[in-house]
A and B are shown apart, each in its own frame.
Chain A
Amino acid sequence: MTTPSLAPFIQKRPWLMNWMRPLSKWYFDNAGYRKLGLRADDLIPEESETVQLALKRLPPKEAYDRVFRMRRAFQCSLAHQLLPQAEWTKAEQDYQYLTPIIEEIEAEASEREDLESMIIKKKTAATRQSGDQIAGKH
């Protein structure tokens, strides 16, 4: 599930991005999940149809690694311990592996919604050309 975020706003402005980067690095290092060997996308709540479908679409290796990371983190949490520092998730390992799939599924759903609520305009002779006869609600 994607949540509202300031990130796109900041990413569009390079000066702001440079300014915020150390802050975000500090924040992510202190968020704690990396010390349990997790990635940010592991924290997305999976109790929704969208995310369930996205999980099904993960490549087999990614799905296996995800389960491994979760079991390891769960074990650490039970034992009230952190992983040894060598096994912490590094910043470059913490990439988005699930979000793109979720976004794709959401785009599919919203496209379906748009098409369902589409208003069809009758075509006139002048507008008849390939491709642009159908006015979607985009």
Chain B
Amino acid sequence: MLSRSAARSAARQSWQQQRRGLAAPASGSFSYNIGESGGVKVASRDIPGPIGSLALVSQAGTRYQTVPGLAEGLNRYAFKNTDRRTSLRIQRESELLGATIQAYHSRENVVLRAKFFRDDLPYFVEMLAEVATRTSYRTHVMQEEVLPMIRMDQQKYLGNTLAMAVNSAHGLAFHRGLGVPVNPASSTPTTKYLTAESLEEYAQSAYAKPSFAIVGNGVDHGELQKWVGEFFSDAPAQPLQSLTSPQSKYHGGEERIAHGAGNSMVIAFPGSSTPAGSFYKPEVAVLTALLGGQSSIKWSPGFSLLSNATQDAPNMHIATKSLIYSDAGLLAIELSGSGNDIRSTASRVVEALKSVGQGISKENFAKAKALAKFKELEYGQETTAAMELTGHGLVHGNKAYQIDEVAKSIDNVTEDQVKQIVKEALENKASVSAVGDLYLLPYAEELGLKV
């Protein structure tokens, strides 16, 4: 058995480790260098290691799209034929260089990413520039390659009740803008709006110099700036149509969707924006860790309030997520599993939330803070880390996602701040979405929530 003094010294040790500067041990820097090269915003950090990665983050996600489906179209059309190379050639060349390329879109961004050996940096800067400025948008490529993928996505989305519930909660919370579903449902008239011509127009806005940023990890900043300046000189200086969205406003409400293939429920409250945004509340990250639901250690439900509250339903997926966007955010509790499990545990989830408003045990609060900080730093340590957030922050206000600062702000969170967040959440309207067997799934009012 461990003696008390041993435990104390271990605690002190870990505390001292936390106090040490984050960037101290590494030779490269842990924070982003920000610069500009030929009108293109560039951020990078030179993490030591043989692999570099590069991302083009364009402010062209579903929030900013001018007609439905464009963000997904742009994502699926990335790395297809350009004026200079065919898509087959792009694939084969990057395979030969042992690299991975991918594209994805989120509510706010379309991200083109490449991971590669450090020395191949110029090749991939050139490729991203080519994809951004020289892609030829052709009708037959849309018909043969892009639209089938989008239809597949729609089918996949239709079978995923949790994704539907999350999208529906966003729709309730923000209506337009952030509320636009990130995956279009199969009943959304995509082909009516999504044509090669409309996509080309959108690309001219999405890949104009003010709308995107280049973020590098594990690359030399000077080199990156040099190559970006050289290859991105063709990018249009002004977007064809400026991509803007009004400041998000939280609405809230309830939506229930009948579905035969599963049961999901999302209970969402106003949350925090990204650290680069103006509505950043680090206490939401702590509250997320405190509510939790997923254990971070083996053989134990963990300390989190929700996993303890739902111990009778071990087969149910429950998780709390802090979904952060540039000017708003959602604190979302996801429940997914059998209808009976959700019915029996949903009220306990709300009770757990209410109990946080009454008071938090000191031990749990310390654990939650540690976990929240751990998650941020772990996220920052990966090479892919926070590229999207950094890119988006740069496009909006020349602010990178500096992991050190975020971790520091989590340290300063007090118990009262967390209580205040819970109090506000319970006093105002929640966004509650239920997808599945509506006979079993409870109404928000039955759970004791205001909608």
Contacts and interface: CB of A to CB of B under 8 A. Distances in A.
A135 to B, nearest CB: 10
Given A57-B140, A59-B139, A120-B96, A130 B89 contact: no
B126 interface: yes
B86 interface: yes
Interface residues of A, number: 15
A87 interface: no
A16 interface: no
Interface in A36-69: 56-57, 59
Interface in B83-99: 86, 88-89, 92-93, 96-97
B88 A133 contact: no
Overall SS of chain B's interface = helix
Contact of B89 (A56, A111, A120, A128): A111
Contacts, number: 31
Contact of A130 (B86, B96, B122): B122
Overall SS of chain A's interface = loop
A115 B92 contact: yes
B123 A133 contact: yes
B123 A115 contact: no
A115 B89 contact: yes
Given A111-B86, A115-B88, A130 B140 contact: no
Interface in A81-138: 108, 111-112, 115, 118, 120, 128-131, 133-134
16 contacts: A56-B140, A57-B139, A57-B140, A57-B143, A108-B86, A108-B88, A111-B89, A112-B88, A115-B88, A115-B89, A128-B119, A130-B123, A130-B126, A133-B97, A134-B92, A134-B93
Given A59-B139, A134-B93, 5 more contacts: A57-B139, A108-B88, A112-B88, A130-B122, A134-B92
Interface of B: 86, 88-89, 92-93, 96-97, 119, 122-123, 126, 139-140, 143
